[in-house]
Structure 1
Amino acid sequence: MINERFECEILRASRTRLLQLMETSNYETLFKIPEGFNNNIIWQIGHCITSQQRHMYMRSGLPMYISKEFMESFKIGSSPGSWKITPDVNEVKHLLIDTVNHLESDLESKLFVNYEPFELPIGFQVKNHAQALQAANYHEAEHSGKIFTYLKLLLKE
Protein backbone atom coordinates (compact mmCIF):
# COMPACT_ATOMS: atom_id res chain seq x y z
CA MET A 1 0.00 0.00 0.00
CA ILE A 2 1.47 3.33 -0.97
CA ASN A 3 1.53 6.35 1.28
CA GLU A 4 -0.41 8.90 -0.78
CA ARG A 5 0.48 11.74 1.59
CA PHE A 6 4.20 11.03 1.10
CA GLU A 7 3.74 10.85 -2.68
CA CYS A 8 2.03 14.27 -2.55
CA GLU A 9 4.94 15.63 -0.50
CA ILE A 10 7.33 14.45 -3.22
CA LEU A 11 5.14 16.04 -5.89
CA ARG A 12 4.94 19.32 -3.97
CA ALA A 13 8.73 19.39 -3.45
CA SER A 14 9.32 18.78 -7.16
CA ARG A 15 6.80 21.42 -8.16
CA THR A 16 8.22 23.95 -5.67
CA ARG A 17 11.66 23.44 -7.19
CA LEU A 18 10.24 24.03 -10.68
CA LEU A 19 8.42 27.14 -9.47
CA GLN A 20 11.68 28.49 -8.05
CA LEU A 21 13.37 27.84 -11.39
CA MET A 22 10.59 29.73 -13.18
CA GLU A 23 10.84 32.66 -10.79
CA THR A 24 14.60 32.97 -11.24
CA SER A 25 14.64 32.51 -15.02
CA ASN A 26 13.81 35.16 -17.57
CA TYR A 27 11.08 34.84 -20.18
CA GLU A 28 13.56 34.16 -22.98
CA THR A 29 15.14 31.25 -21.09
CA LEU A 30 11.76 29.67 -20.35
CA PHE A 31 10.65 29.83 -23.99
CA LYS A 32 13.87 29.22 -25.91
CA ILE A 33 14.26 25.75 -27.42
CA PRO A 34 17.79 24.41 -26.91
CA GLU A 35 19.58 23.34 -30.08
CA GLY A 36 18.81 19.73 -30.93
CA PHE A 37 15.53 19.62 -28.99
CA ASN A 38 11.92 20.30 -29.95
CA ASN A 39 10.51 21.67 -26.69
CA ASN A 40 11.38 24.33 -24.15
CA ILE A 41 11.33 24.63 -20.36
CA ILE A 42 7.79 26.02 -20.19
CA TRP A 43 6.52 23.14 -22.34
CA GLN A 44 8.25 20.59 -20.10
CA ILE A 45 6.65 22.11 -16.98
CA GLY A 46 3.20 22.43 -18.56
CA HIS A 47 3.48 18.86 -19.79
CA CYS A 48 4.12 17.62 -16.24
CA ILE A 49 1.00 19.40 -15.01
CA THR A 50 -1.09 18.11 -17.93
CA SER A 51 0.06 14.50 -17.60
CA GLN A 52 -0.63 14.44 -13.86
CA GLN A 53 -4.12 15.84 -14.44
CA ARG A 54 -4.92 13.44 -17.26
CA HIS A 55 -3.60 10.38 -15.43
CA MET A 56 -5.19 11.19 -12.07
CA TYR A 57 -8.44 12.92 -12.98
CA MET A 58 -9.40 12.16 -16.57
CA ARG A 59 -8.77 8.43 -16.11
CA SER A 60 -10.83 8.55 -12.92
CA GLY A 61 -13.74 10.13 -14.80
CA LEU A 62 -13.32 13.39 -12.89
CA PRO A 63 -12.98 16.96 -14.19
CA MET A 64 -9.43 18.24 -14.46
CA TYR A 65 -8.22 21.51 -12.91
CA ILE A 66 -6.74 22.64 -16.23
CA SER A 67 -8.51 24.02 -19.28
CA LYS A 68 -8.88 22.11 -22.52
CA GLU A 69 -6.63 24.74 -24.18
CA PHE A 70 -3.93 24.20 -21.56
CA MET A 71 -4.15 20.43 -22.03
CA GLU A 72 -3.91 20.76 -25.83
CA SER A 73 -0.80 22.95 -25.53
CA PHE A 74 1.07 20.48 -23.34
CA LYS A 75 -0.22 16.99 -24.07
CA ILE A 76 2.09 14.32 -25.42
CA GLY A 77 2.86 14.97 -29.08
CA SER A 78 2.46 18.73 -28.78
CA SER A 79 5.28 21.26 -28.96
CA PRO A 80 5.75 25.03 -28.98
CA GLY A 81 5.48 24.83 -32.78
CA SER A 82 1.88 23.64 -32.45
CA TRP A 83 0.77 26.33 -29.97
CA LYS A 84 -2.14 28.47 -31.12
CA ILE A 85 -1.37 30.96 -28.34
CA THR A 86 1.70 31.47 -26.18
CA PRO A 87 1.12 30.00 -22.71
CA ASP A 88 0.80 32.41 -19.81
CA VAL A 89 3.78 31.98 -17.48
CA ASN A 90 1.71 33.10 -14.48
CA GLU A 91 -0.94 30.47 -15.22
CA VAL A 92 1.73 27.75 -15.36
CA LYS A 93 3.22 28.99 -12.06
CA HIS A 94 -0.22 29.02 -10.44
CA LEU A 95 -1.13 25.54 -11.69
CA LEU A 96 2.16 24.04 -10.50
CA ILE A 97 1.08 24.41 -6.87
CA ASP A 98 -2.69 24.77 -7.16
CA THR A 99 -3.08 21.34 -8.76
CA VAL A 100 -1.14 19.77 -5.87
CA ASN A 101 -3.40 21.54 -3.36
CA HIS A 102 -6.48 20.18 -5.15
CA LEU A 103 -4.99 16.71 -5.38
CA GLU A 104 -4.26 16.57 -1.64
CA SER A 105 -7.78 17.73 -0.84
CA ASP A 106 -9.36 15.31 -3.32
CA LEU A 107 -7.34 12.37 -1.96
CA GLU A 108 -8.41 13.28 1.58
CA SER A 109 -12.04 13.44 0.42
CA LYS A 110 -11.71 9.97 -1.16
CA LEU A 111 -12.85 11.46 -4.47
CA PHE A 112 -11.02 8.84 -6.56
CA VAL A 113 -13.27 5.79 -6.88
CA ASN A 114 -13.21 4.59 -10.50
CA TYR A 115 -10.16 4.28 -12.71
CA GLU A 116 -9.56 3.41 -16.38
CA PRO A 117 -6.21 1.50 -16.48
CA PHE A 118 -3.60 2.32 -19.11
CA GLU A 119 -0.10 1.26 -20.04
CA LEU A 120 2.88 3.57 -19.69
CA PRO A 121 5.31 3.77 -22.62
CA ILE A 122 7.91 2.03 -20.41
CA GLY A 123 5.70 -1.07 -20.29
CA PHE A 124 3.99 -0.81 -16.89
CA GLN A 125 0.24 -0.85 -16.48
CA VAL A 126 -1.26 1.79 -14.19
CA LYS A 127 -4.32 0.22 -12.58
CA ASN A 128 -5.57 2.83 -10.10
CA HIS A 129 -5.19 6.43 -8.92
CA ALA A 130 -2.53 5.52 -6.33
CA GLN A 131 -0.33 4.00 -9.02
CA ALA A 132 -1.05 7.02 -11.22
CA LEU A 133 0.32 9.27 -8.48
CA GLN A 134 3.49 7.20 -8.27
CA ALA A 135 3.79 7.24 -12.07
CA ALA A 136 3.30 11.03 -12.08
CA ASN A 137 6.23 11.43 -9.68
CA TYR A 138 8.42 9.21 -11.85
CA HIS A 139 7.33 11.12 -14.97
CA GLU A 140 8.02 14.49 -13.37
CA ALA A 141 11.48 13.33 -12.28
CA GLU A 142 12.25 12.43 -15.91
CA HIS A 143 11.08 15.81 -17.16
CA SER A 144 12.81 17.69 -14.34
CA GLY A 145 16.06 16.14 -15.53
CA LYS A 146 15.34 17.45 -19.02
CA ILE A 147 14.44 20.88 -17.66
CA PHE A 148 17.70 21.25 -15.76
CA THR A 149 19.63 19.99 -18.79
CA TYR A 150 17.88 22.60 -20.94
CA LEU A 151 18.70 25.30 -18.40
CA LYS A 152 22.36 24.33 -18.35
CA LEU A 153 22.54 24.36 -22.16
CA LEU A 154 20.74 27.70 -22.44
CA LEU A 155 22.89 29.41 -19.84
CA LYS A 156 26.02 28.39 -21.78
CA GLU A 157 24.81 30.26 -24.87
Structure 2
Amino acid sequence: MRTDFVFHNLNNQYGQLLELAAKCPVDGRHTVPEGFNNHIHWHLGHVLVSTELHILYLSDNAQEMTFPPEYLKLFGYGTKPSDWQTDPPVWELLVAQLKEQLGQLEAWLKDKLDTPVKDNFFKAETLGELVISTTVHASWHVGNVSAILKALK
Protein backbone atom coordinates (compact mmCIF):
# COMPACT_ATOMS: atom_id res chain seq x y z
CA MET A 1 0.00 0.00 0.00
CA ARG A 2 1.35 3.40 -0.95
CA THR A 3 2.23 5.60 2.02
CA ASP A 4 1.49 8.86 0.20
CA PHE A 5 -2.02 7.67 -0.74
CA VAL A 6 -2.85 6.50 2.78
CA PHE A 7 -1.64 9.63 4.53
CA HIS A 8 -2.99 12.00 1.88
CA ASN A 9 -6.47 10.71 2.71
CA LEU A 10 -6.02 10.79 6.48
CA ASN A 11 -4.50 14.28 6.31
CA ASN A 12 -7.42 15.39 4.14
CA GLN A 13 -10.00 14.29 6.71
CA TYR A 14 -8.06 15.77 9.62
CA GLY A 15 -7.68 19.00 7.64
CA GLN A 16 -11.42 19.19 7.08
CA LEU A 17 -12.12 18.45 10.75
CA LEU A 18 -9.69 21.12 11.92
CA GLU A 19 -11.04 23.62 9.40
CA LEU A 20 -14.58 23.06 10.68
CA ALA A 21 -13.39 23.29 14.29
CA ALA A 22 -11.84 26.68 13.50
CA LYS A 23 -15.25 27.87 12.27
CA CYS A 24 -16.99 26.86 15.49
CA PRO A 25 -17.88 29.86 17.65
CA VAL A 26 -16.51 29.62 21.18
CA ASP A 27 -20.04 29.61 22.61
CA GLY A 28 -20.98 26.67 20.36
CA ARG A 29 -18.15 24.32 21.29
CA HIS A 30 -20.12 22.68 24.10
CA THR A 31 -23.61 22.94 22.66
CA VAL A 32 -25.34 19.66 21.82
CA PRO A 33 -28.06 20.56 19.31
CA GLU A 34 -31.36 18.71 19.37
CA GLY A 35 -31.02 15.38 17.61
CA PHE A 36 -27.33 14.99 18.49
CA ASN A 37 -25.63 13.14 21.36
CA ASN A 38 -22.36 15.03 21.39
CA HIS A 39 -20.88 18.46 20.83
CA ILE A 40 -17.96 19.46 18.64
CA HIS A 41 -15.47 19.40 21.52
CA TRP A 42 -16.34 15.72 22.06
CA HIS A 43 -15.90 14.94 18.35
CA LEU A 44 -12.37 16.38 18.37
CA GLY A 45 -11.40 14.25 21.36
CA HIS A 46 -13.10 11.18 19.96
CA VAL A 47 -11.24 11.36 16.64
CA LEU A 48 -7.97 11.76 18.54
CA VAL A 49 -8.66 8.76 20.78
CA SER A 50 -10.30 6.47 18.24
CA THR A 51 -7.54 6.99 15.67
CA GLU A 52 -4.95 5.66 18.09
CA LEU A 53 -7.24 2.88 19.27
CA HIS A 54 -7.97 1.78 15.71
CA ILE A 55 -4.41 1.91 14.50
CA LEU A 56 -2.25 1.18 17.53
CA TYR A 57 -4.42 -0.90 19.85
CA LEU A 58 -5.82 -3.08 17.06
CA SER A 59 -2.30 -3.71 15.78
CA ASP A 60 -0.99 -4.78 19.22
CA ASN A 61 1.00 -1.57 19.55
CA ALA A 62 -0.90 0.00 22.45
CA GLN A 63 2.41 0.98 24.04
CA GLU A 64 2.74 3.60 21.29
CA MET A 65 -0.50 5.39 22.24
CA THR A 66 0.10 8.98 23.29
CA PHE A 67 -3.14 10.24 24.83
CA PRO A 68 -3.66 10.22 28.62
CA PRO A 69 -5.73 7.26 29.92
CA GLU A 70 -8.50 9.56 31.18
CA TYR A 71 -9.27 10.51 27.57
CA LEU A 72 -10.92 7.10 27.12
CA LYS A 73 -13.52 7.95 29.77
CA LEU A 74 -14.27 11.23 28.03
CA PHE A 75 -14.01 10.39 24.34
CA GLY A 76 -14.11 6.60 23.96
CA TYR A 77 -16.89 4.70 22.27
CA GLY A 78 -20.23 5.03 24.04
CA THR A 79 -19.27 8.21 25.88
CA LYS A 80 -21.08 11.51 25.76
CA PRO A 81 -20.56 14.87 27.45
CA SER A 82 -23.67 14.56 29.61
CA ASP A 83 -21.97 11.63 31.39
CA TRP A 84 -18.64 13.38 32.05
CA GLN A 85 -17.49 13.37 35.67
CA THR A 86 -14.40 15.51 35.01
CA ASP A 87 -13.58 18.49 32.85
CA PRO A 88 -12.25 17.63 29.40
CA PRO A 89 -8.92 18.87 28.11
CA VAL A 90 -9.22 22.37 26.73
CA TRP A 91 -10.19 22.84 23.08
CA GLU A 92 -6.81 24.27 22.08
CA LEU A 93 -4.98 21.26 23.51
CA LEU A 94 -7.12 18.81 21.52
CA VAL A 95 -6.58 20.80 18.33
CA ALA A 96 -2.80 20.79 18.94
CA GLN A 97 -2.83 17.06 19.71
CA LEU A 98 -4.76 16.29 16.53
CA LYS A 99 -2.23 18.23 14.47
CA GLU A 100 0.66 16.49 16.21
CA GLN A 101 -0.91 13.04 15.91
CA LEU A 102 -0.75 13.06 12.12
CA GLY A 103 3.00 13.55 12.06
CA GLN A 104 3.55 10.97 14.79
CA LEU A 105 1.50 8.34 13.00
CA GLU A 106 3.13 8.96 9.65
CA ALA A 107 6.61 8.77 11.18
CA TRP A 108 5.77 5.56 13.04
CA LEU A 109 3.88 3.85 10.22
CA LYS A 110 5.64 5.01 7.04
CA ASP A 111 7.45 1.72 6.43
CA LYS A 112 4.94 -0.54 8.17
CA LEU A 113 1.70 -0.19 6.19
CA ASP A 114 1.89 -3.75 4.86
CA THR A 115 2.42 -5.23 8.33
CA PRO A 116 -0.29 -7.82 9.12
CA VAL A 117 -2.61 -7.15 12.07
CA LYS A 118 -4.78 -9.40 14.24
CA ASP A 119 -8.47 -9.98 13.51
CA ASN A 120 -10.48 -6.83 14.12
CA PHE A 121 -13.97 -5.42 13.63
CA PHE A 122 -12.83 -3.48 10.55
CA LYS A 123 -11.75 -6.73 8.85
CA ALA A 124 -8.46 -4.96 8.09
CA GLU A 125 -5.53 -7.25 7.39
CA THR A 126 -2.68 -4.70 7.49
CA LEU A 127 -1.73 -1.49 9.27
CA GLY A 128 -2.44 0.40 6.06
CA GLU A 129 -5.97 -0.98 5.95
CA LEU A 130 -6.45 0.09 9.58
CA VAL A 131 -5.40 3.62 8.61
CA ILE A 132 -7.87 3.65 5.71
CA SER A 133 -10.65 2.34 7.98
CA THR A 134 -9.80 5.05 10.49
CA THR A 135 -9.92 7.64 7.71
CA VAL A 136 -13.46 6.54 6.87
CA HIS A 137 -14.36 6.81 10.56
CA ALA A 138 -12.88 10.33 10.73
CA SER A 139 -14.91 11.34 7.67
CA TRP A 140 -18.09 10.33 9.49
CA HIS A 141 -17.16 12.72 12.30
CA VAL A 142 -16.34 15.47 9.80
CA GLY A 143 -19.92 15.07 8.57
CA ASN A 144 -21.29 15.23 12.09
CA VAL A 145 -19.29 18.33 12.96
CA SER A 146 -20.50 19.98 9.76
CA ALA A 147 -24.10 19.12 10.65
CA ILE A 148 -23.69 20.44 14.20
CA LEU A 149 -22.27 23.72 12.88
CA LYS A 150 -25.32 24.10 10.64
CA ALA A 151 -27.63 23.32 13.56
CA LEU A 152 -25.91 25.98 15.67
CA LYS A 153 -26.81 28.75 13.19
Q: TM-score category by the smaller chain?
A: 0.7 to 0.9
| Structure 1 runs, 4 residues or longer, greater than 3 Å off | 109-114
Could you tell me which residue of structure 2 aligns to residue 70 of structure 1?
Answer: 71
Structure 1: stretches of 5+ with no match in the other structure: none
Structure 1 counterpart SS, 2:72: helix
How many correspondences in the alignment? Answer: 150
Q: Is the contact made by 1:41 and 1:150 (CA closer than 8 Å) also made in structure 2?
A: yes
Q: Is the contact made by 1:11 and 1:137 (CA closer than 8 Å) also made in structure 2?
A: yes
Could you tell me which residue of structure 1 aligns to residue 103 of structure 2?
Answer: 101
- Structure 1 residue 71, shift from structure 2 partner: 2.4
- Aligned residues with identical type, % of pairs: 25
Could you tell me which residue of structure 2 aligns to residue 86 of structure 1?
Answer: 87
For 2:84 and 2:127, the matched residues in 1 are separated by 30
- Structure 1 residue 105, shift from structure 2 partner: 0.3
- Structure 1 residue 20, shift from structure 2 partner: 2.4
- Pair 111,14 (structure 1): closer, same or farther in 2 beyond 3 Å: closer
Could you tell me which residue of structure 2 aligns to residue 138 of structure 1?
Answer: 136
Could you tell me which residue of structure 2 aligns to residue 148 of structure 1?
Answer: 146
For 1:50 and 1:38, the matched residues in 2 are separated by 18
Structure 1 counterpart SS, 2:29: helix
Structure 1 counterpart SS, 2:34: coil
Structure 2 counterpart SS, 1:60: coil
Q: Is the contact made by 1:115 and 1:129 (CA closer than 8 Å) also made in structure 2?
A: yes
Structure 2 counterpart SS, 1:138: helix
> Normalising by the residue count of structure 1, what TM-score does the alignment of the two structures yield?
0.85
Tell me which amino acid in the other structure corresponds to 1:140: A
> Normalising by the residue count of structure 2, what TM-score does the alignment of the two structures yield?
0.87
